Structure 1
Amino acid sequence: MQNRVLLIEDDDELRMLLARYLTSQGFQVREAANGRDGLALATGQDCDIVVLDIMLPDINGLDVLRELRSRAHLPVILLTARGEETDRIVGFEVGADDYIPKPCNPRELVARLQALLRRIAWDQQTGVEAGRCYGDLRVEPGQRRIYQNDQPLDLTGTEYEVLQVLLAHAGGVVRKTDLMQWALGRRLEAHDRTLDMHISNLRKKLGNEPSPRIETVRGLGYSYRVPES
Structure 2
Amino acid sequence: MSENNASVKKILLVEDDRQLSDLVTDFLTSEGFHVKQEFRGDTVAKRVKLFNPDLIVLDIMLPGKDGFAVCKELRPEFNGPVLMLTAKSTDFDQVLGLEIGADDYVIKPVEPRVLLARINALLRRGQLPNQSDEKGEITCGSLYINKASRKVTLKEEIIDLTSQEFDLLWLLASKAGEVQNRDYIYKAVIGREYDGLDRSVDVRISRLRKKLLDSTETPFRIKTIWGQGYLFVPDAWE
Match of residue 12, structure 1, among 18, 28, 33: 18
Match of 1:115 in 2: 121
Determine whether 1:199 maps to 2:199: no
1:55-204 mapped onto 2 (5 Å cutoff): 55-123=61-129, 129-204=135-210
Cα 1:128–1:78 shift into 2, 3 Å: farther
Match of residue 229, structure 2, among 205, 208, 221: 221
Do the aligned residues in 2 keep the contact of 1:77 with 1:98 (CA within 8 Å)?
A: yes
- Specify the code of the residue in structure 2 equivalent to 1:217: I
> In the TM superposition, what whole-angstrom CA distance separates every residue of 1:71-115 from its partner, at most 9, and x where no partner exists?
322211111123132122111111111111111221111111111
CA distance in 2, matches of 1:168, 1:93: 24
Match of residue 33, structure 2, among 23, 27, 30: 27
Do the aligned residues in 2 keep the contact of 1:79 with 1:101 (CA within 8 Å)?
A: yes
TM-superposed deviation, 1:150? 2.1
> In the TM superposition, what whole-angstrom CA distance separates every residue of 1:97-142 from its partner, at most 9, and x where no partner exists?
1111111221111111111111111235595833331222211122
Match of residue 42, structure 1, among 28, 37, 48: 48
Gaps of 5+ in 2: 1-6
Cα 1:228–1:103 shift into 2, 3 Å: closer
CA distance in 1, matches of 2:140, 2:167: 16
TM-superposed deviation, 1:214? 1.0
The CA RMSD measured in Å over matched residues stands at: 1.8
Do the aligned residues in 2 keep the contact of 1:7 with 1:50 (CA within 8 Å)?
A: yes
CA distance in 2, matches of 1:37, 1:193: 30
- Of stretches 145-154 and 24-33 in structure 1, the one that deviates more from structure 2 is 145-154
CA distance in 2, matches of 1:50, 1:136: 33
Higher helix share: 1
- Specify the code of the residue in structure 2 equivalent to 1:205: K
CA distance in 2, matches of 1:225, 1:124: 26
CA distance in 2, matches of 1:128, 1:159: 21
CA distance in 2, matches of 1:21, 1:45: 20
Q: Which stretches of structure 1, 4 residues or more, deviate above 6 A after TM superposition?
A: none
TM-superposed deviation, 1:201? 1.1
Gaps of 5+ in 1: none
- Specify the code of the residue in structure 1 equivalent to 2:225: V
TM-superposed deviation, 1:50? 0.4
Structure 2 counterpart SS, 1:83: coil
* Aligned-pair identity (%): 36
